[in-house]
Structure 1
Amino acid sequence: MPSLLCCFVTDTEERTAPAGDRTTTRPSLRVILVLGAMVALGPFTIDMYLPALPDIGTDLGASSSAVQLTITGTLLGLALGQLIVGPLSDSLGRRRPLIAGIGVHVAASVLAVFAPTVAVLGALRVFQGIGAAAAAVVALAVVRDLFSGNTVAVVMSRLMLVLGVAPVLAPSIGGALLIAVDWRGIFVVLAVIGILTALIGVWGLTETLPPERRRKSNLRAVLGTYKSLLGDRAFMVLALVSSVAMGSLFSYVSGASFVFQDQYGLDEQQFALLFSSGAIALIGASQLNVRALARWSPLQITVSALAFATVAGLALITTAHFEFGGLVGFVVPLWFLLAGVGFVLPNAPALALGRHGEAAGTAAALLGALQFGVGALIAPLVGVLGNTGVALAVTMTACAGLGLVALAAAAKAEAH
């Protein structure tokens, strides 16, 4: 396997754009905090209102399935928004699309407060997702503007800390808000969070894409850039690896409550603690990745992590099927699987973005859209397969295995 990766590694490094003003030095805490605030807007937008879903259905006279479609609307907005904002950020600079996108998010949040039907709320959630996508894609593009080499993966590891913590905190904050306000009040808070994110982004970061590095904004140029990205086999393989890793994470988020509460009989508080422990495994791995990068390349770590996650997943399938060890027998290999995913998520996107620094915004947009799109398609498979421990184990393991096979196939093709 290492020999097959040689050409793939070399090609990935050769396609990295000239560094220009980018640096390989340690990123400042200020930059990490600003970028972290920007990428956190998406998870907060998705998850903060989750505890209020039953109340929304009751208030608007909608079924639970109809209310759940508002989540799908948000994910759709996040995917579409990145495809739109990415090219705009390459042609107009990073700040203007960021401000405009978050403006859309804030407006949609305010209008959601007055939503009379679940259909209207679902439509507004799409626009919320589009606005949140602007913050996410600009943050990733700024990383590529400012940094190069392994430093990109280091910064991505720090941002993974935010992406791991935010989905855990957001529902808890939403639940606490429901003590004082109804579900509409949560959207007021989301509007405030959007405003704060815009202020942090504008005041905390200068423009990172000077006019001389900007690209044409006409439709033909945009489509040409996307065609170039889609035609880059290594980029697409790395994007696929990033996407299936995200799909594994989404599977855990969507299926864990059913498995732990229905199959293992945990109550809501016990589930929350166990769910958080899984997030800690993911976050811990992403932070250990910073130390690992001092010794190994991002691609080496990605391959090893996928292999580790696949082995852990096979152990998880075995313990789930034979009910070996009960809850402990299920949770321990699950933690190891999540840790493997935690190493993949910072490195695969960093490698993909490193190939197209000259179109960082568009590359980040396509990468993000694929992550959310593929992740949204994979996550429901746990329910389709029965919302059991075996279903969760099979789905998550298949994602890790698919990523490993994709990298091996790409490396073999490059070698020939």
Structure 2
Amino acid sequence: MFENSLAIVAFARRYKALLVAYLACCVQLSAIAQISQDSVRIGILNDQSGPYSALQGQGSVVAARMAVEDFGGTVLGKRIDVVYADHQNKPDVGATIARKWFDVDGVDLMVEVGNSAVALAVQQIAREKSKIVIYTAVATTEITGKQCSPTGFSWLHDSYAMVSGPVRSLLKQDMDTWYFIYADSAFGQNVVSEASRIIEANGGRVVGSVKHPTNEIDFASYVLQAQASRAKVVAVIDAGQLLVSAFKQAGEFGLTKGGQKVVAPVTFLTDVRGMGLKAAQGLNVAIPFYWDLDDQTRAFSQRFFARHKAMPTEPQAAVYSGVSHYLKAVRDTATDKTMTVAARMRSMPVNDFFAKNGVLRDDGRLLNDFYLVQAKSPAESTGPWDLYKVVAKIPPQETAKPLSESECPIVKTAR
């Protein structure tokens, strides 16, 4: 009798173990079944060959692939694929690629974009197709403003974040008259608009501006107009190779020697390297990431450098962070259904080397700390990538437009 009882207990334990294993298997198979295709596909859309390719380009593809590898290469038993394309900074080209990716190629997530005009075109398509886009190098505040989307996320910065800290800092130094040289694009217009609003709200004055074609290489006439304005501050609103050229030409025409301060609020790591510290020294920029901030940023950046032979720019680091966060959301929700994954992305904090306790707002803006950094002098630098020193930490509430001023329909509905 006793032996029979022991046999029954042993059988029950074995049966329970088998049942638990069976149920776990069923849960896993159920999760896999909710991935809509053979793989989870991530598309990097950016400038691969033009003036912004150094700060985006192949470096962003490297960052995305690192994120996938660090995640294990699969999610819910499905392979994770990374594809990329060059939008050539043309909205029509970017829109065509986006439609093909979403309709034909089964891309689940688009990342970076890196051009405001292209981003606005992509945002509309992604909204129509119910696809997630993480913008990591887009300046226009329209992405989280009038053109916001429940599936669109601004991961790096916008024009408000980039100009708010440096502009306020200069105004406190009595640098209260401004002149803008800016690209004739959605990006340039938006940055000038946001900067002008902050300048005028804080007692400053915009004395003039001049716009240039987005493919300009000769900035002489624009620099001379800025010089003639006698503004205390000349702000060059460009990025990438265009910014490097404009900034160098401003120096050649002696604006700084004549008492004017030349600033470039939208400046990336590769821009400063391109200008050289002799020209860039003293330049203040507000950024959320720098490779040499702490042990975590240095560890990631050294791994990145081993592959790309350059330290990561702010957009490239943001690509890694955004892709990682998306994959965690897919894993947690056991599906690639857009609205389910987007909701999970919003509900969990962003915690990695890029952002500490970052929060995604209702308008899609990632809130995290920024840093006011200053370009070092040649004497202060200890190596080719030792370009910045940190001046101050800027809390999120100072780098993001208040929601009370938001024109995002999602925010307005929630009020």
TM-score, normalised by the number of residues in structure 1 = 0.27
Give the structure with the larger helix fraction: 1
TM-score, normalised by the number of residues in structure 2 = 0.27
Structure label with greater radius of gyration: 2
